[in-house]
Structure 1
Amino acid sequence: MFGTSGIRGPVGEEVTAALALDVGRALGIDCGRVAVGRDPRASGQFLMDALTAGLRESGTDVLDAGLAATPTVARAVGWQDADAGVAVTASHNPAPDNGLKLWQPSGQAFDESQREAIARRVRESESGLVPWDELGERVEVDAGERHLDALRDVDIDGSPSVVVDLGNGAGGLTVDALQALGCEVETLNAQPDGAFPGRPSEPTAENCESLRALVAASDAEVGLAHDGDADRLRAVTDEGDFIPGDVLLALFAREAVADSDVESPRVAAPVDTSLAVDDALAPQASVTHTRVGDVFVAERATESDVVFGGEPSGAWIWPAQTLCPDGPLAAVQLVALAADRPLSERVVEVDTYPIRRESVEVTDKSGVMARVEERVLAEYDDVRTLDGVRVDFDDGWVLVRASGTQPLVRITAEARDGERCGELFAEASAIVETAREE
């Protein structure tokens, strides 16, 4: 029922009002107060109503943040002294989808054991319904204002010009925060609309062409882009160039390390993160790899020497503030960097390397991966099986990993030299092909 990013899928098929009701009942068994909010998808209101009904009939009070960014909902759990939070969102997924993501008071998403407990209760129709005179209340809360106050703590020099592409999502708080900090802000796709008419929800380079063109043609110092629920942030330099995710991770991480007083700090990032991040941080800090997914990055970020966590897809975590990926926080942090020194200058200081990625269709993911792991462990020395099978070399690495949702095995190879990258990719591809044919 749960993926690493909560419950997601097509509305009316995998995600229904009945499922939201069941999740509310399951969550209400041991929660007295739950914060809820939603992104602007058309299905969001009835799913939140169903979720709320399940909570209230379990005796749980509901703190309704209404239309709100997912990080606002996640932060509200602690601010409102709630036991849990639920964001009704499919994040960067397309308009036909929706979902539910559950949050702890720390701002961290529900971990694997918590997700499984909810899934088991739903499967077994377990609930704790209360009499009519013990029903929970539904109270509207303004969590956005508290989130805005937290963002005002970031110092931005001068009055930089910023273009923000909200992607018709729930990230309007970013505009409010930047204006409160003295920035001149121009917006794209600012009207919340869950059909995402301006561009697809995920802020990829391809989907941010209008943002790139506007920044390049203006005097803007940075362009920012959110997904539908504003937990992700991607960016464009002052010259209109889209910043690769690994490079943006390196920029954020270097600044977090420089601001930290932790001895031997670490940065949490997924196992498929580029060597560019390792090299940008050395020797001041090191990268600690996690499974792919911001949930796993957040779990690692709970360790005291981890000062920053991020995924190149656009999820950025400052654990001293919150354990949820916070797009508006990332936005104001990046504008602060751009105001201090142009992003175009910062980006060229991060070395990047040849990297190849390919997906291979298979009929038996688990069988193929088991055979790949067996052979790799037998033939190579520096092997990790944290998430798939990764082999590290002095000059590069390869990763073979099964897709979490599709019948695919993904192959990634990176090296500091293009020819070597090709060699590593060919080795890994041959191993996968042999495992697929066995």
Structure 2
Amino acid sequence: MFGTSGIRGPVGDAVTAELALDVGRALGADTDRVVVGRDPRDSGKLLTDALTAGLREVGTDVVELGLAATPTVARAVAWEDADAGVSITASHNPAPDNGIKLWQPSGQAFDEPLREEIEARIAADDPALEDWTGLGGLTETSAFDRHVETLLESVSVADLDVAVDLGNGAGGVTVEALNRLGCRVETLNAQPDGAFPGRPSEPKPENCASLTTLVREGTFEVGIAHDGDADRMRAVTASGQFLSGDTLLALLAADAASAGERVAVPVDTSLAVEDFLANRGVGVERTPVGDVYVAAAATQADVAFGGEPSGAWIWPEETLCPDGPFAALRLAELASERPLDDRVAEIPTYPIERDSIEVEDKTAVMARIEEQVLERYDEVTTMDGVRVELDDGWFLLRASGTQPLVRVTAEAREEERTRELFDEARGLVS
């Protein structure tokens, strides 16, 4: 039921009001107060109603934020002295999808044991429903301004030209904060609309061509792109370069971590990030793919930052949720101090190959792959798929969390070697 990013899938199929009701009842079994918010998808209103009904049926009070960025919801759990938070969102997925993601008071998403507990309660199908005298209450409020004010306390930016592509999502906190800081802001796709008419929700290069052109042809120092719930942030430099996730990870990590500290990164992160940080005395802690795992690693005392190349960035001193607006303002602050193009010119890039191979039974295929890899190679990590470390590169084979696919990634410092490793990895799947 739950993946690493919560429940997610097509509305009316994988995600229904009945499921939201069940999750609400299960979550309410050991919570007294829960914060709930949603992204702009029309189905979110229905799912919010169902989930909050389930919570209130078992006596849990609900603080409903309405339309809110996922990091706003996650942060509001502590602000509202609540026991948990719920985002009704499918994040960067297309409009037909929706989902449910659960948050702890620390801002960290529900980890595997907590998710399994919710699933077990739903499977037991024995909620402790209250009578009419014990139903939970409902308070409607907004945490938008609180989120903006929190960002303003942590970041200092002024006299900057910034373009922001909100992707018709819930990331207006970024624009408001930049405006209050005195920046000159131009927006794209700023009207919340769960059909995502301006561009597909995921902020990747091919979906953000308008932002790239606007920044390149204008006088902007930085361009910012969010997904539908604003937990992700990607960026464009003044020259119109859409930064790869690995480059942006290296840039933010180098600023956040000092020599002797570490940053948490998933197993599919580029070797270039590790090389760049090593030159600054900063180490890496590799995790399975998923912000919940990065956040868990970021709770360690010497881990100063966590990030995923997909666009999720975590500063543990701020919050353990990926906060796209905070990341946007932190990047703008860096751009105001020194041009981003100058900064990224110092970060190496290595040839990397990625592909996805459709399979009938990804679990069985990955079991055979792991068996073969452990027999053939000496340095193998199996925390999330199988990652093979070699002297001059690496490759990773891992099952998709949501589709019948095996993801194949290979990287080396030389292009010819990358191709050799990629062919080698694909051959294992075949």
Range into which the TM-score falls when normalised by the shorter chain = over 0.9
Which of 303, 309, 316 is the aligned partner of 1:306?
Answer: 303
TM-score normalized with structure 1 length? 0.96
Is the partner of 2:208 in helix, strand or coil? helix
Supply the distance in 1 between the matched residues of 2:60 and 2:70 (Cα, whole angstroms): 21
User: Cα deviation per residue 1:202-250 (whole Å; 9 max; x = unaligned)?
Assistant: 1110000000111111101000010000000011001111000000000
- Residue matched to 2:406: 409
Supply the distance in 2 between the matched residues of 1:28 and 1:403 (Cα, whole angstroms): 31
TM-score normalized with structure 2 length? 0.98
**1:264 positional shift:** 2.1
1:28-427 correspondence runs (5 A): 28-258=28-258, 264-283=260-279, 284-427=281-424
**1:26 positional shift:** 0.7
Supply the distance in 2 between the matched residues of 1:184 and 1:118 (Cα, whole angstroms): 45
Moved more, 318-327 or 157-166: 157-166
Asked if structure 2 preserves the Cα contact closer than 8 Å seen for 1:156 and 1:335, the reply is no
Supply the distance in 1 between the matched residues of 2:69 and 2:399 (Cα, whole angstroms): 30
Asked if structure 2 preserves the Cα contact closer than 8 Å seen for 1:28 and 1:128, the reply is no
Supply the distance in 1 between the matched residues of 2:362 and 2:9 (Cα, whole angstroms): 21
Supply the distance in 2 between the matched residues of 1:365 and 1:427 (Cα, whole angstroms): 19
Is the partner of 1:225 in helix, strand or coil? strand
Asked if residue 4 in structure 1 is aligned to residue 4 in structure 2, the reply is: yes
Percent of aligned pairs with the same residue?
66
Asked if structure 1 preserves the Cα contact closer than 8 Å seen for 2:25 and 2:58, the reply is yes
Supply the distance in 2 between the matched residues of 1:304 and 1:128 (Cα, whole angstroms): 40
Supply the distance in 1 between the matched residues of 2:288 and 2:387 (Cα, whole angstroms): 11
Is the partner of 1:401 in helix, strand or coil? strand
Is the partner of 2:75 in helix, strand or coil? helix
Aligned residue identity for 2:333: A
**1:374 positional shift:** 1.6
Supply the distance in 1 between the matched residues of 2:126 and 2:89 (Cα, whole angstroms): 24
Unmatched 5+ stretches in structure 2: none
Asked if structure 1 preserves the Cα contact closer than 8 Å seen for 2:157 and 2:183, the reply is no
**1:200 positional shift:** 0.6
Supply the distance in 1 between the matched residues of 2:155 and 2:320 (Cα, whole angstroms): 21
**1:366 positional shift:** 2.1
Supply the distance in 1 between the matched residues of 2:197 and 2:361 (Cα, whole angstroms): 38
Counterparts in 2 of 1:192 and 1:418: CA distance versus 1, 3 Å: same
**1:17 positional shift:** 1.0
Counterparts in 2 of 1:390 and 1:419: CA distance versus 1, 3 Å: same
Supply the distance in 2 between the matched residues of 1:368 and 1:20 (Cα, whole angstroms): 33
Aligned residue identity for 2:422: F
Asked if structure 2 preserves the Cα contact closer than 8 Å seen for 1:172 and 1:190, the reply is yes
- Residue matched to 1:17: 17
Aligned residue identity for 1:205: P
**1:43 positional shift:** 0.8
Aligned residue identity for 1:69: A
**1:46 positional shift:** 1.2
Supply the distance in 2 between the matched residues of 1:196 and 1:418 (Cα, whole angstroms): 37
**1:61 positional shift:** 0.5
Asked if structure 2 preserves the Cα contact closer than 8 Å seen for 1:154 and 1:332, the reply is no
Supply the distance in 1 between the matched residues of 2:407 and 2:17 (Cα, whole angstroms): 34
Is the partner of 2:409 in helix, strand or coil? strand
Supply the distance in 2 between the matched residues of 1:158 and 1:101 (Cα, whole angstroms): 35
> How many positions carry a matched residue from both structures?
429
Asked if structure 2 preserves the Cα contact closer than 8 Å seen for 1:359 and 1:410, the reply is yes
Supply the distance in 1 between the matched residues of 2:199 and 2:427 (Cα, whole angstroms): 38
Asked if structure 1 preserves the Cα contact closer than 8 Å seen for 2:158 and 2:181, the reply is no
Supply the distance in 2 between the matched residues of 1:368 and 1:45 (Cα, whole angstroms): 39
Supply the distance in 2 between the matched residues of 1:158 and 1:17 (Cα, whole angstroms): 45
Supply the distance in 2 between the matched residues of 1:56 and 1:364 (Cα, whole angstroms): 40
Asked if structure 2 preserves the Cα contact closer than 8 Å seen for 1:26 and 1:126, the reply is no
Counterparts in 2 of 1:157 and 1:228: CA distance versus 1, 3 Å: closer
Asked if structure 1 preserves the Cα contact closer than 8 Å seen for 2:7 and 2:101, the reply is yes
**1:157 positional shift:** 4.4
Question: Alignment RMSD, CA only?
Answer: 1.1
User: Cα deviation per residue 1:147-172 (whole Å; 9 max; x = unaligned)?
Assistant: 11110023434310000000110000
Asked if structure 2 preserves the Cα contact closer than 8 Å seen for 1:69 and 1:230, the reply is yes
- Residue matched to 1:436: none
**1:370 positional shift:** 1.7
Unmatched 5+ stretches in structure 1: 434-438
User: Cα deviation per residue 1:15-65 (whole Å; 9 max; x = unaligned)?
Assistant: 111111111111111100000001111111111011111111111110111
Aligned residue identity for 1:277: V
Aligned residue identity for 1:201: S
